[in-house]
Amino acid sequence: MTPEQLRSLPPNAVGIVASSDDNYAPHLTVLFYSLLANCSAPERVSLFCLDGGISDENKARMNQEVKTLGGSGVDFVSFNSDRYDNLPTIKHITSSAYYRISIPEIFDDSVHKLIYLDCDMIVKGDIIELWDTDIADFHIGAVENLSGHTYKKLGIPQNQYFNSGMLLINLDLWRRDGIPEKVFRFKKENPDKISTNDQCALNGVLHDKWKHLHLKWNQQTGLYRPSEQTAAFSPSEIEEATLSPGIIHYIGWDKPWRKVRFHPLANEYDRFADRLETSPRIKPGFGDYLQAYASVSRLKKLRRQLKWQAWYKEKGYDLYR
């Protein structure tokens, strides 16, 4: 981007950034809708999308939906993506996942803080509460990663490895220390330590420079599989994150827009998708269930889902149907 294209924010604005290509754009619309629907001051929110090739139709639909909740629309940020094209991608992730690395280069020096969110999320809490977190002495605020053991390959302790799906970013410190270039360099120079797209590289640079936030601000599926990773947290924090999540993160292949889902709170995605003029949700048929339950591993996921949904009902959680 050239200097005259740099973005700024209105006074007192809450800056939210996500990245998407055309395939994920409908689900980003659901994320933005959920964020505004649960925000105490939606008029303060400025939404930005790092554009990985979104169609004009999807852009218009996203803008229409967010404006119904008092949002000012979405600013779609286009930039030269050539620097990302040769970076390897893993599984279902596209190169647009790397765009978050360049966020400080997109905003002018008057913007000091931003929130980055992955597309596979739903916001259930008030984003203003997260925004008001003080990270003056940290490069980011984030939540410890609970899914997988990629921290071991990276060679850092578990409690120093964060999940990069939600980042409260201190842009001043990123600019001062040249974090984007350091992350790119780490990615290229340490292929033996990389198990994810950009998350490992971000941790390789920032593992000792981040503020630990409550698990509720990035509620991960690892909470439904108690392990040594969750054992380090207090039972009260685990229960609050599970029962009253601020942000639900649908990590991995089990996305809530699949025909058959196994996440206990997959229907929270439906709660907001069903309120859109054009819902991206596809309802499954009988054959879809037969195919999904054909393996033992999927049946285990189903049993875990039903167990947790029963727990939610017992606790009085309003499960969406």
Distances (CA, A) of 263 to 12, 17, 319: 36, 25, 12
For the whole model, what pTM was predicted? 0.93
Say if CB 215 and CB 145 are below 8 A apart.
no
Which helix (DSSP H) or strand (DSSP E) does residue 140 occupy?
strand 140-144
Q: DSSP labels for 169-215?
A: EEHHHHHHHTHHHHHHHHHHH-GGG--SSSHHHHHHHHTTSEEEPPG
Q: Nearest-5° angle of CA 159, CA 163, CA 169?
A: 105
Q: Is the dihedral of CA 196, 20, 268, 132 positive or negative?
A: positive
The pLDDT tens digits of the residues spanning 62-104 come to: 999 999 998 889 999 986 666 665 555 555 445 556 678 889 9
Q: Is residue 305 part of a domain?
A: no
Confidence (pLDDT) at 241: 98
Residue 205 lies in a domain: yes
Average pLDDT for 196-215: 93
Q: What is the CA radius of gyration of the chain?
A: 19
Residue 167: its H or E element: strand 162-170
The pLDDT, as a whole number, for residue 134 is 98
42, part of any domain: yes
Question: What pLDDT, on the 0 to 100 scale, is given for residue 3?
Answer: 41
Whether 59 is in a domain gets the answer: yes
Domain presence at residue 277? no
Could you give the number of structural domains in the chain?
Answer: 1
Q: Identify the pLDDT of residue 296.
A: 87
pLDDT tens per residue, range 163-193:
999 999 999 999 999 999 999 899 889 888 8
Question: Which is it for strands 140-144 and 162-170: parallel, antiparallel or unpaired?
Answer: antiparallel
Residue ranges making up the domain that contains 102: 3-217
Q: Comparing C-alpha atoms, which of 114, 147, 125 is closest to residue 250?
A: 147
Q: What does the pLDDT read at residue 109? A: 95
In a domain, 278, yes or no: no
Q: What percent of the chain has pLDDT over 70?
A: 93
pLDDT at 187: 87
Give residue-wise pLDDT tens across range 214-271: 999 999 999 999 888 898 899 999 999 999 999 999 998 899 999 999 999 999 999 9
Question: Is the pLDDT reported for residue 1 higher than 50?
Answer: no
114 DSSP β-pair partners: 169
Q: Is the pLDDT of residue 198 over 80?
A: yes
- Rounded CA-CA distance 199/195 in Å is 8
Q: Give the CATH number for residue 13.
A: 3.90.550.10
Q: Cβ distance 141 to 114 under 8 Å?
A: no
Residue at 233 is within a domain: no
**pLDDT tens-place string over residues 269-321:** 999 999 999 889 888 998 999 888 888 899 999 999 999 999 999 999 999 98
Q: Is residue 257 part of a domain?
A: no
The mean pLDDT of 18-28, rounded to a whole number, is 94
